[in-house]
Chains A and B, each alone.
Chain A
Amino acid sequence: MSRVLTFAAAVNEALAVAMDRDPGVITFGLGVGDARNIFGTTAGLQERFGAARVFDMPAAENAMTGVAVGAALRGLRPVMVHQRMDFFLLALDQLVNSAAKWHYMFGGRRGVPLTIRLILGRGWGQGPTHSQALHAWLAHVPGLKVAMPATARDAKGLLLAAIFDDNPVVFIEHRWLHQAAGEVPEGDYRVPLGTAQVVREGGDLTVAALSYMVPEALRAAEVLERQGCRVDLVDVRSVAPFDWTTILSSVRRTGRLLALDIAPATLSVAGEIVARAAMEAFGALRCAPRRIALPDIPTPTSPALTGGLYPGAAEIVGVAGEMLGRSFDTIGLDAAGVPHDVPGDWFKGPF
């Protein structure tokens, strides 16, 4: 059975399913158990599973990551959460030098079953230190897995896969997706880490999207289809390990690749997708691959400065037109009445 749940509710349900299934699953982070419950994602867990397994923590990101590593080495499956990815930068030492290395550097004797949830901010002036998308950094470190779900269904299935994986997994939630609703199966199911999914089939253009770019690409694909351009839309879902088979077979079918990212373009995951396609599917390409990502600048705060910063469905339609040598209409893509710096009426800030 499945029902319609929001992304945030699906995350909450995944945590409850995991904690119910395995008494070794614990979850902690700054704000876990407080009145707001990490945007609702940890609501009810402390009441149900107790303060020993669900707890708030000191503002000590690096040590608490190392604590999670140690707990994982002694049989627990910690799930740590940070309300912004930016806050987690203090913990890169423990993530990179302890969590990612432990299994390999001690000869493959013991894995570190650790999940770290990082929430990515955008809009409402989140600005330079509350909206960085640094998934490429993390995916660059051997020994780490990095998941970036775009739908409520994948949020639950990937989070369960992450928690029960015997390796450190970074699970990245886009704040603008928390209210996105979709069909979510009940109970325990896993979406395998490292698998992309073709969410819309078409033969004219491969669009590789991740996280919040997936709904933008879906809107673009609908507009393009009405004008005779059929998009093969691949939701990347995991950036480490990366499902090259699905992406490259799509590119070989369509001969055109447009990679989308939510981070600055230079040295981005989108750049890696373009490089791989050029190296391994060059003969199939009918035009140069393209990418749409953010400019290489810090995020400013004022809405006057962010208006053109985040590319979306209209930009996707525009680039698709350039790749196909056509001019497509973007009618219907204007978000009438919704300011550019919020995902919809549900988000009134501040965070």
Chain B
Amino acid sequence: MARPLAPALLLKLHRTMKRIRMVEERVAERYPEGRMRCPVHLCTGQEAVSAGVGAALRPGDLVVSTHRSHGHYLAKGGDLPRLIAEMYGKATGCSSGRGGSMHVVDEAAGFVGSNAILGGTIPVGTGLALALQLRGERLVSCVFLGDGATEEGVFYESLSFAALRRLPVLYVCENNLYSVMSPLSVRQPPGRVLHRVAHCLGLRARGADGNDPVAVYRAARRAVAAIRRGGGPVFLEFATYRWREHCGHQLDCGPGMRDDEEFRRWRERDPVALTEAALLDSGIVGRADLEATETAIAAEIDEAFRFAEESPFPEPAEAFAAVFAGEGRPAP
């Protein structure tokens, strides 16, 4: 039996997950209003990976991510109001209204950027690690990717180079079984284990339960410590499941889509609900404490949406500004 996590840490993991869940579900609720006019890829159901990895990283460590990045961004300390404002296309958005949900950034939090090209940030995060190594910075670069990205050539190329140069990079693969609506069974041969592929490329690699924030945290903490000691890159694969459709606010289960029964089984393993049950069972918190947390997060999200709605749009002329560095930039 694994040693239980310190109560404060478990509470932190829970709060991070709960906040991500409530942000994503609020986006889903408000999306049909048509004011967040960009594609959104919600991570409801996958919050444990963001929370566990985020808790294992230091503020100065770097993160790059994918189209489904809200959880990674928030768990790394990314600014919530500016994330929402970015989805609203406002000048106060974290990318000044140029990136939308798929291209978010918060360098102050170490969130270097997300990119909606499948596998697109795998080499970029690897290059960040090269710079960290060459500059002698004792920091870790963390690359989030999905199972679909492991089919891209750039995945093999990047991991191979990271192994060659023993780069300080942590690859975190969220295996949610689907690339858009295509299951692994039509994309990869039966029996393939993704973290074994990474192992064959020369990385230390392991898999863990991606719906258990404690398991994620422990795996990530161990990996980050080893990387920081100069041990070279690590690949972690977390099994998890996305609840909503690939892109958008709706569900995609039912005839011709994902199997209802599969979704039901994964919902029984809801990382937020399981963690709340563990907190209650162990007597760390009572129901009133959980409700207070929920109320506080809801107020923060209300405020973030109000900020986004009340913020100005960028001036139309700003579309033409700052194509190149050194040309000035749009409003801060």
Contacts and interface: CB of A to CB of B under 8 A. Distances in A.
Interface of A: 26, 52-53, 57-58, 60, 62-76, 90, 93-94, 97-98, 102-113, 142-143, 145, 165-167
Select the residue from A90, A93, A97 with max chain B CB neighbours within 10 A. Answer: A93
Given A97-B117, A107-B329, 15 more contacts: A53-B134, A58-B157, A60-B157, A65-B123, A72-B127, A73-B112, A73-B113, A73-B124, A74-B62, A94-B124, A98-B117, A106-B105, A108-B96, A108-B321, A108-B325
A-B complex: 3 closest residue pairs judged by Cβ atoms: A70-B127, A66-B123, A111-B325
Contact of B158 (A67, A68, A98, A145): A67
B153 to A, nearest CB: 7
Nearest to B127: A70
19 contacts: A60-B161, A62-B154, A66-B124, A70-B129, A72-B127, A73-B131, A74-B135, A75-B135, A76-B131, A76-B134, A97-B120, A103-B322, A103-B324, A104-B322, A106-B95, A106-B98, A106-B99, A110-B325, A166-B325
B126 A98 contact: no
Nearest to B93: A107
Interface in B119-175: 120-132, 134-135, 141, 153-154, 157-158, 160-161, 164
B105 A62 contact: no
A66 B154 contact: yes
Interface of B: 62, 64, 93-99, 103, 105, 107, 112-113, 115, 117, 120-132, 134-135, 141, 153-154, 157-158, 160-161, 164, 321-330
A65 B123 CA distance: 8
Contact of A70 (B97, B131, B322): B131
A66 B122 CA distance: 8
A104 B120 CA distance: 16
Contacts of A107: 93-99, 105, 322, 329-330
B227 to A, nearest CB: 16
A86 B29 CA distance: 48
Contacts of A58: 157, 160-161, 164
B127 A69 contact: yes
A108 B329 CA distance: 5
Nearest to B99: A105
Nearest to A57: B161
Nearest to A62: B154
B128 to A, nearest CB: 4
A103 B325 contact: yes
A8 to B, nearest CB: 27
A93 B117 contact: yes
Contacts, number: 159
A74 B157 contact: no
Nearest to A99: B124
A6 B247 CA distance: 55
Select the residue from B107, B112, B130 with max chain A CB neighbours within 10 A. Answer: B130
Contact of A143 (B115, B117, B129, B324): B324
Contacts of B134: 26, 52-53, 71, 76
B135 A94 contact: no
Given A58-B161, A70-B124, A106-B103, A98 B325 contact: no
A126 B324 CA distance: 35
Contact of B126 (A52, A63, A110, A113): A63
A67 B124 CA distance: 5
Contacts of B327: 108
Contacts of B158: 60, 63, 66-67
Nearest to A100: B323
Contacts of B326: 111, 165-167
Given A103-B325, A145-B324, A71 B95 contact: no
Given A58-B157, A71-B127, A98-B115, A108 B107 contact: no
A104 B323 contact: yes
B95 to A, nearest CB: 5
A248 B41 CA distance: 48
A58 to B, nearest CB: 6
B164 to A, nearest CB: 7
A72 B126 CA distance: 12
A104 B100 CA distance: 12
A336 to B, nearest CB: 47
Contacts of A102: 113
Given A63-B158, A110-B107, A68 B98 contact: no
Nearest to A70: B127
Contact of A63 (B96, B131, B157, B322): B157
A97 B113 CA distance: 13
Contacts of A74: 62, 127-128, 131-132, 135
B120 A66 contact: yes
A66 B126 contact: yes
B123 A69 contact: yes
A110 B108 CA distance: 12
B325 A94 contact: no
B203 to A, nearest CB: 14
A71 B122 contact: no
A56 to B, nearest CB: 11
Contacts of A52: 134
B153 A67 contact: no
A113 B131 CA distance: 13
A210 B124 CA distance: 33
Contact of A106 (B113, B127, B131): B113
Nearest to A90: B153
A52 B321 CA distance: 37
Nearest to B155: A63
A63 B161 contact: yes
B187 to A, nearest CB: 19
B104 to A, nearest CB: 8
A73 to B, nearest CB: 6
Given A62-B157, A93-B117, A70 B329 contact: no
A67 B123 contact: yes
A248 to B, nearest CB: 21
Contacts of B124: 66-67, 69-70, 73, 94, 98
Given A66-B120, A107-B105, A107-B329, A75 B131 contact: yes
